[in-house]
Amino acid sequence: QVQLVESGGGLVQPGGSLRLSCATSGFTSDDHPIGWFRQAPGKEREGVSCITGGSGSTVYADSVKGRFTISRDNTKNTVYLQMNSLKPEDTAVYYCATEFYGSSCVFLRPSGMDYWGRGTLVTVSS
């Protein structure tokens, strides 16, 4: 079955870095877009970044552009989110997700994604 498993979250000081991983199984992940989404306490889930299948084009939310980098290693069926210059407002549970039909990922729309991981908590605090 389709599975996505996030890892790499933790506590980091403002200005620090973390790399999140999304390990996929049960489908040919390089054929499908994989997105990172996040949900802060009391807020709606929002899109952070997406990487498409095939060409590997990338999309970023304005709030993380220039600080976060999404990438994929098809040999490991894993997608990464490198997060630099972290801010307290980046604190959230981070989820990876994929879609088999549609274009929700490239528009960073959580509602259209088909499969989700369980999330990993990122806390940015001094």
Residue-wise pLDDT for 56-70, tens only, equals 899 999 999 999 999
108-to-48, 54, 99, 103, 126 alpha-carbon distances in Å: 7, 18, 11, 9, 29
**27-36, 93-102, 108-117: least confident range:** 27-36
The pLDDT score that the predictor gives to residue 81 is 98
Strands (E), the chain: 3-7, 10-12, 18-25, 34-39, 46-51, 58-60, 68-73, 78-83, 92-98, 115-116, 120-124
